[in-house]
Structure 1
Amino acid sequence: MEKIRKTILLSLFLLTSSQAVALNLGNLQGESRREYKSPRGLSELCVIQKKWPGAVYSNSDVSKENTLCNYDFYLNVGLCPKYTSTNPAILLLEPNAQYSKEAIDASDCQIKSMKLETEAKFKQSVTCSYTPAILAYYHVSRALGNVGRVPTTVLRTMDIVTHAKLTQKANAYLSNIRDPIRLSWEQVALAHKNPRMHPRIFENSLNQIYGALSDNIKKEEQYTDVSGHGDYDSRYQRFLRQKPFLRVASSQGVSQQVGTTEFTQVAQVVLQMKDVADMVLIDTLLNQQDRIGNIHYKFFWYYIDPQTNKLVRRKSDAKIKKDTVQIPEEESREMSGLQAALLKEMVLKDNDCGVTKTNMMKKIGALDKIRHFSYGTYRGLLYFEQTLNTPAAKDYFMTELLFAASEYKSLLKNTQEAKRILMAKCQSGDLHFDVDLETYIPGTQPPAISCTL
């Protein structure tokens, strides 16, 4: 508890003592922006950032961006402070037949007992959290081919008076609870007393707080297969010893490790290996400090369409109960007779502790150890690195994603190093491009490999 307390205090001190320049809301243009009026007449903003050139954004991404910017804090969504974990946030809750927006706002926000759905989370640069990291993970993920399935994110502001009231509610509820989140909310309350000292939390007029508003992934599970169980301080060393990482670090090909290339038997291992390698890459690029233990997954069916011989992905309602996978009978019937596998898809939903933080993947040399990689992700990295080293790219990260010049420089350096490491392995034949599921469809020829663009 004492170590966590010191970490929280140090994180806020670093944000306070930084040379950051306060955000000017007039400079936020993005791809589009929407304004909302707070009760005292301030114009709150929701900004959808411009898309990274060459990145692939799905129709779902575009739809969710618009959904996030359609939430009106004072009209169509309930607001509650987050009482769990270590990083403070405001939860956006969907009203239902039992709880109207007004009832949610007036409640003590015990949302589990109220059975309310959290639609989005609004986070600031407090404790380990950092707004540019949350924004960057979304766009860099798409630039690399949607690695990690990072939640859609936009930039949002909130009237400082509204946020102060929610902070007061959090501190009142947590006053008799001995938990790290209590310390975090206490620090937020202190920041409210002197907003001028916190330019990474409050915009330059000191009337609004700003942060990242992210879509909330629902019904996810902790991916302990990848993280393992154990002490927090040794979590990254433990990660290196888990079977998923040992597989991507192995010199043996997938067929040697699994003993077959038959789709239904190899699919989970292949997808997991790709997800682990992708995670190591994006965390290396963005200086992630707190990934292990913050990895999740959702169930999806993958099957080969017998008519087109193409890979099809479909959502599943399977659940884990008492360490057993329970599949709805209807799904089992529909998938019977098909070359189908129920797979765990990794979801990287907690991405706030990055960019300015300790690069833990680099510290343990994770990328240097990897021997298996997605060819699609590899090509995405080469294109990203090529595009990143330009004045336009620097402007994009500083204007759209709120990076400082030093943070962009760090990203560029990390990306160039990652390219050098993986390209050298590719050219020496030490990198196996055998973790793309599409290549395990019978009759499919693997792509011709080129180590350069």
Structure 2
Amino acid sequence: MNLCAVSVLSSMTLISSFAMAISLGNFEGESRKEFKSPRNLTELCVIGKKWPGADYRTEDQKKEGTLCGYDFYTNMGVCPKYNSTNPAILLLEPNAQYTKQQIDASNCDVKKMGVKTEAKFKQSITCSYTPAILAYYHLSRIFGNAGRVPPAVIRTMDITIHKRLTDKAINTLQGTNNPILASWEKVLEVHQSPRFFPAVVDAQATQFYGALSDNPKNEEQYVDVSGVGKYDTRYERFMNQDPFKRLISSASVSQMVGTTDFAQVAQTALQLKDVSDMILMDTLLNQQDRIGNIHYKFFWYYIDPVAKKVVRQKSDAKWVNDVIQVPEQETSAMAGKKAALVKEMLLKDNDCGVTKTNMMKKYKVLEQIRHMSFHTYKKFMAFEQALSTPAGQDYFVKELLFSPSEFRHLQRNAAEAKQILKTKCQANQLRFDVDLELYVPGAAAPAPSC
């Protein structure tokens, strides 16, 4: 079990005692859908309202609708999660070999069944915190899809159904040394005294509530950024990896690479943008468990010479015996283009934040960076200003389930980050050279200003 899980397990009763009981009738959002449990209890799925001006995509809206189309009792198999340290309910897509009923009745060996996990339902238990999952999704879009965080919605589950799944997890894991067993036993404590845990159970003590988030597939661990080693020294290790060393270098991206040619610069520039975006979001949202929870997918980036813009295209490239195998049709399609096959960061595991130890602040990581996206910088400055408005607090409290004190902490984090970045910018210690559009020949580059 990692330290994050241990520390939160031991203080969970204390944390819960300060939480406010939530009435499900207050969950409004942009839209909401109702489901009926076997005992005729009304469960909810709530799609949050959108932050004005944020970069939500059509794909996001479709995915939110898909998430709120998942029914625990009709179209999706449900199983407790047995890996890692944080408990969750997995939503599994039935296939030709396993129907929903067969999945539900199984011992939930997901890998053996070969069923796909389409979504994860997590609550504020152990290191996981519902507002963190929700906030990362919306903050990602506020910053222009930074980190490409998967969409998430609010979901509830009949407490009696959740209890059955908790019992199933404990019975299956009993007698093993699997670290998640202790987490599921803590969930059982919630079921035994539900009214003592208002951060997990609604005011009527009839339902568990949390975040239901999309589960991306075929991603890889971004070891280049995280490195490999002990959990206790994960942030020191991250700061000794080449991507972070480049991020704190005073040299420009073109100096690092030795050219401004798009195909050769693209990976370095994108990686620096992704890492700096991640550092900023983690600083704002008190992330405790990022390093080791960073993923990527392969994408093609190439220049459209007519429109003079960067085009992004999904790739089916994959690792085979430590060698990247690229489909021949992709190689042919990119021949003759200014194209680069790159690792695009994916931040899919964001639950350990908001009320946790802010590891980026602890190690003063934001103070050290020397490269940043100007687009992210501008969006962050506007966001920091918006947090001072009543509408800003209203959004985070009503849509993302922040308490007023948690929102004030976010405001303080944002104000501190603004001072750090603006000071560095005014001292010419912050290069805005990681946006790929800067490397399109003939494209008009924006004039950065602090």
TM-score (norm 2): 0.98
Q: Deviations over 1:59-90 (max 9, x none)?
A: 01111111100111111111011100000000
In structure 2, what is the Cα distance between the partners aligned to 1:147 and 1:5? 27
> Match of 1:207?
206
Moved more, 320-329 or 377-386: 320-329
In structure 2, what is the Cα distance between the partners aligned to 1:175 and 1:159? 24
User: What letter matches 2:375 in structure 1?
Assistant: G
User: What letter matches 1:10 in structure 2?
Assistant: S
> Match of 1:10?
10
> Match of 2:401?
402
> Match of 1:346?
345
In structure 2, what is the Cα distance between the partners aligned to 1:208 and 1:200? 11
- Determine if contact 2:5/2:126 at 8 Å carries over to the other structure: no
Q: Aligned with 1:241: secondary structure?
A: coil
In structure 2, what is the Cα distance between the partners aligned to 1:191 and 1:282? 31
> Match of 1:447?
446
> Match of 2:39?
40
- Determine if contact 1:264/1:340 at 8 Å carries over to the other structure: yes
Structure 1 residue 392 displacement after superposition: 1.4
- Determine if contact 1:83/1:170 at 8 Å carries over to the other structure: yes
Structure 2's unaligned 5+ residue stretches are: none
Q: Aligned with 2:189: secondary structure?
A: helix
Q: For residues 163-202 of structure 1, what are the structure 2 equivalents within 5 Å?
A: 163-202=162-201
> Against the structure 1 CA distance between its residues 127 and 79, is the aligned structure 2 distance closer, same or farther, given a 3 Å change threshold?
same
- Determine if contact 1:8/1:184 at 8 Å carries over to the other structure: no
> Against the structure 1 CA distance between its residues 417 and 2, is the aligned structure 2 distance closer, same or farther, given a 3 Å change threshold?
closer
- Determine if contact 1:11/1:128 at 8 Å carries over to the other structure: no
User: What letter matches 2:161 in structure 1?
Assistant: T
> Match of 1:114?
113
Structure 1 residue 224 displacement after superposition: 0.5
> Match of 1:389?
388
Q: For residues 80-229 of structure 1, what are the structure 2 equivalents within 5 Å?
A: 80-229=79-228
In structure 2, what is the Cα distance between the partners aligned to 1:2 and 1:90? 20
Structure 1's unaligned 5+ residue stretches are: none
In structure 1, what is the Cα distance between the partners aligned to 2:83 and 2:291? 18
Q: Percent identity?
A: 62
In structure 1, what is the Cα distance between the partners aligned to 2:160 and 2:283? 38
Are 1:316 and 2:315 matched, yes or no? yes
> Match of 1:427?
426
Q: Deviations over 1:134-157 (max 9, x none)?
A: 011111111111111111000000
In structure 1, what is the Cα distance between the partners aligned to 2:278 and 2:434? 14
In structure 2, what is the Cα distance between the partners aligned to 1:23 and 1:412? 23
- Determine if contact 2:5/2:86 at 8 Å carries over to the other structure: no
> Against the structure 1 CA distance between its residues 322 and 142, is the aligned structure 2 distance closer, same or farther, given a 3 Å change threshold?
same
In structure 2, what is the Cα distance between the partners aligned to 1:372 and 1:282? 15
In structure 2, what is the Cα distance between the partners aligned to 1:84 and 1:31? 33
Q: Deviations over 1:98-148 (max 9, x none)?
A: 111111111111111111111100000000100011011111111111111
Q: Aligned with 2:270: secondary structure?
A: helix
> Match of 1:367?
366
Q: Aligned with 1:268: secondary structure?
A: helix
- Determine if contact 1:5/1:183 at 8 Å carries over to the other structure: no
Structure 1 residue 306 displacement after superposition: 3.5
> Match of 1:357?
356
Q: Aligned with 1:182: secondary structure?
A: helix
Q: Aligned with 2:135: secondary structure?
A: helix
In structure 1, what is the Cα distance between the partners aligned to 2:267 and 2:353? 29
> Match of 2:59?
60
Structure 1 residue 309 displacement after superposition: 2.7
Structure 1 residue 31 displacement after superposition: 0.5
> Match of 1:417?
416
User: What letter matches 2:9 in structure 1?
Assistant: L
- Determine if contact 1:304/1:311 at 8 Å carries over to the other structure: yes
CA RMSD of aligned residues (A): 1.2
In structure 2, what is the Cα distance between the partners aligned to 1:412 and 1:342? 38
> Match of 1:335?
334
- Determine if contact 2:298/2:343 at 8 Å carries over to the other structure: yes
User: What letter matches 2:262 in structure 1?
Assistant: F
Q: Aligned with 1:203: secondary structure?
A: coil
> Against the structure 1 CA distance between its residues 8 and 358, is the aligned structure 2 distance closer, same or farther, given a 3 Å change threshold?
closer
Structure 1 residue 53 displacement after superposition: 1.7
Are 1:285 and 2:275 matched, yes or no? no
- Determine if contact 2:261/2:439 at 8 Å carries over to the other structure: yes
Q: Stretches of 4+ moved more than 4 A in 1?
A: 1-5
User: What letter matches 1:83 in structure 2?
Assistant: Y
Q: For residues 235-254 of structure 1, what are the structure 2 equivalents within 5 Å?
A: 235-254=234-253
In structure 2, what is the Cα distance between the partners aligned to 1:443 and 1:303? 15
In structure 2, what is the Cα distance between the partners aligned to 1:215 and 1:391? 30
TM-score (norm 1): 0.97
In structure 2, what is the Cα distance between the partners aligned to 1:443 and 1:4? 49
User: What letter matches 2:436 in structure 1?
Assistant: L
In structure 2, what is the Cα distance between the partners aligned to 1:14 and 1:135? 23
Structure 1 residue 6 displacement after superposition: 3.8
Structure 1 residue 228 displacement after superposition: 0.5
Q: Deviations over 1:376-417 (max 9, x none)?
A: 000010110111111111111111111111100010011111
- Determine if contact 2:2/2:85 at 8 Å carries over to the other structure: no
Structure 1 residue 342 displacement after superposition: 0.6
- Determine if contact 2:5/2:85 at 8 Å carries over to the other structure: no
In structure 1, what is the Cα distance between the partners aligned to 2:138 and 2:188? 31
User: What letter matches 2:184 in structure 1?
Assistant: W
- Determine if contact 2:2/2:231 at 8 Å carries over to the other structure: no
Moved more, 279-288 or 108-117: 108-117
